[in-house]
Structure 1
Amino acid sequence: MTLPHPLPHLGEIAGDYDILLCDVWGVIHNGRESWPAACQALTRFNQRGGHVVLISNSPRPATDVIAQLDGLGVPREAWKAFVTSGDATRAELAKRAPGPAWIVGPERDDALYAGLDLNRATGAADAAFISVTGPVDDDTETPEDYRDRFAAGAARGLELICANPDRVVQRGDKLIYCGGALADLYESLGGRVVMAGKPYAPIYDLAIREAETLAGGPVDRSRVLCIGDGVVTDVMGANAQGLDCLFIAQGIHGDQAKGPDGALDPARAADLLKAETTYARYAALELAW
């Protein structure tokens, strides 16, 4: 397998790209604080005439997540457009209105359903489908807490719409389960899952349309770089779209891609990618200019 090229500084290749499709959680913040070096790198790319489109598996619409970025200190200059899995998923939910939908997730994700006229079910017994954004309490719950309830849904043949394909994200120094982990469980029980976020095409279609608006016309896909720390979301999605990728190998993978000297080990990074049959042109432990 070809090893990813170590890339400690985005500035080395910035001139090769016009568009960055950049992941958010795990690249520019960890849910509790933003990372100045990553924010500066994106800002510099924009200042040099490029266009940064943030592409996140957040289950909420982008308009609802911007306040979170502001609160974490991510400067508006670091991005020009923002699309989320929630944005892409709303079209899937609208097709299934009025439901009723058995909605699984914390109240903070309710913006996903605004204006969709979905009726709410109390559980699998009275639902037409299931909509999942993540565990109701992601501080304490695991997918196993949903096994029995999901088994009832799978037995009824209910479709599960997952608004956040991420399996885990880093919150501070802790990994928490996301919607993708619940979707994996549902599939293991024989249920059918639909997802529109990374690595699936709908969210990339939205992101490219945003990039074309910024650029004032069609974009050359050979000059689009995807950046992210999720192998089965960011990297796999870039591969499916035929786009170059910068794999941020620290993120949710901790120290697995580090060598004995604490620097990136391309072979270890390649092992993380190879485990999911993916490839990234570049790899770095963190995003910096």
Structure 2
Amino acid sequence: MTTPIIDTLDELHGRYDALFCDLWGCVHDGVRALPEAVDALRAFKASGGAVVLLTNAPRPRASVAAQIARLGVPEDAWDVIATSGDAARVAMFEGVVGRKVWHIGEAHDAPFFEPVKLLENPVDIEKVDLDAAEGIVCTGPFDPHADPSVMRPQFLLAKTKGLKLLCANPDIVVDRGETREWCAGALADLYEEMGGESLYFGKPHPPIYDLARRRLEQVGRIVSDDRILAVGDGIFTDIRGGMGENIDTLFVTGGLARAETGTRAQPDPARLEAFLAAAELQPTYAIGALR
């Protein structure tokens, strides 16, 4: 079975009532919005569909909305946002890694620790040094350009202490313009390789999809899974996650896998199939870029 390559999203209008659409690599490149993608989302909404921006960003949805507005993604291109950060924040304030946490991340991830209003009795979270921590919260590397292996000494101590690591963003890498950066998922993988335990709440794991469905209901849309299309450029996050939820998927090959799939305007069919065979995953459709 081969994955059909479509030219434009509007070929699928009428088959789906909602999109679970990835952001980075599909709608923006970390520097600016991608105009064709914005137009495609607007057209899908005009056809009667709903757009959930489903992102592994380790921040609350309000923070993501402000960020994408700065990048040039207009509000009329989407209906609601579901973030890995929100799913992970709920778990953190429920106490899954304890009350005293060692935070791995950058200063701009501070909104992750803002209170979650929907919890009645949230745990009082305190950020502490590793020596005093009951658990780890990882929103991303301290330095996104440094190899994750620089964390081995701290992770060895954390593993010895039996600390669980809450991963707020399962992505391994993202491309900011032409520069590739490491994400929290790379650190969580390393911690597991070293014998530690990592907890995940973003794509491809179920909690973020449950959140996305609730977000749809909040805007008055109840959509069956067979009428949802998951769109993304991450084969092991967006595509694996959608397939795990029995949701049809559209693989945007010109993002993270553009070199492997030989994507220019569209992927090279032979290289695309070789890439999918190696990943052991079969998207419903593929496209070079969301348009």
TM-score by structure 2 length? 0.93
Q: Counterpart of 2:107? A: 107
Q: Match for 1:45: what amino acid?
A: F
Report the Cα distance in structure 1 between the residues aligned to 2:249 and 2:269, rounded to whole angstroms: 14
Counterpart in the other structure of 1:136: 142
What SS is found at the alignment partner of 1:6?
Answer: coil
Q: Which position in structure 1 is the counterpart of 2:128?
A: 121
What residue ranges of structure 2 are gaps of 5+ in the alignment? 116-122
- Is 2:232 aligned against 1:228? yes
**Which whole-Å CA distance do the structure 1 matches of 2:168 and 2:203 have between them?**
10
Q: Is 1:286–2:285 an aligned residue pair? A: no
Q: In the alignment, what sits opposite 1:78?
A: 77
Paired residues of 1:7 and 1:284 also in contact (CA < 8 A): yes
Alignment root-mean-square deviation, CA: 1.5
CA deviations on 1:32-85 (whole Å, 9 max, x unpaired) are 011000010001111111100000000001111111111110011110000100
Cα separation, 2, equivalents of 1:78 and 1:56: 15
SS of residue matched to 1:149: helix
1:270, CA displacement in angstroms? 2.9
**1:257: Cα distance to partner?**
1.1
Q: 1:198 aligns with which of 188, 203, 207?
A: 203
How many residues are matched?
Answer: 283
Structure-2 residue corresponding to 1:91? 90
Instruction: Decide whether the 8 Å contact of 1:26 with 1:170 is kept in 2.
Output: yes
Q: Deviations over 1:171-215 (max 9, x none)?
A: 010110000000010001000010110000010001112223334
Work out whether residues 231 and 272 of structure 1, in 8 Å CA contact, stay in contact via their aligned partners in 2: no
Tell me, yes or no, if the aligned pair for 2:26 and 2:289 is still in contact at 8 Å. yes
Partner SS for 1:275: helix
Q: CA separation in 1, counterparts of 2:40 and 2:220?
A: 20
**AA of the residue aligned to 1:99:** R
Q: Deviations over 1:113-133 (max 9, x none)?
A: 11263112211x211001101
| 1:165-184 matches, cutoff 5 A | 165-184=170-189
Structure 1 residue 48 and structure 2 residue 53: aligned? no
For 1:146 and 1:98, how far apart are their aligned partners in 2? Answer: 21
AA at the equivalent of 2:126: N
Name the residue aligned to 2:275: 272
What secondary structure does 2:99 align onto? coil
Identity of aligned residues (%): 39
Q: Is 1:36 the equivalent of 2:35? A: yes
| Secondary structure, counterpart of 2:170 in structure 1 | coil
* Cα distance in 2 for residues equivalent to 1:262 and 1:100: 49
2:246 to 242, 245, 248: 242
**Aligned residue number for residue 16 of structure 1:** 15
d(CA) in 1 for partners of 2:266, 2:228: 27
SS in 1 for 2:149: helix
Q: Look up the equivalent residue of 1:106 and give its one-letter code.
A: E
* Amino acid in the other structure paired with 2:211: L
- Contact 2:266–2:287 at 8 Å: present in 1 too? no
Q: Secondary structure at the match of 1:227?
A: strand
Q: Give the Å deviation of 1:262.
A: 6.1
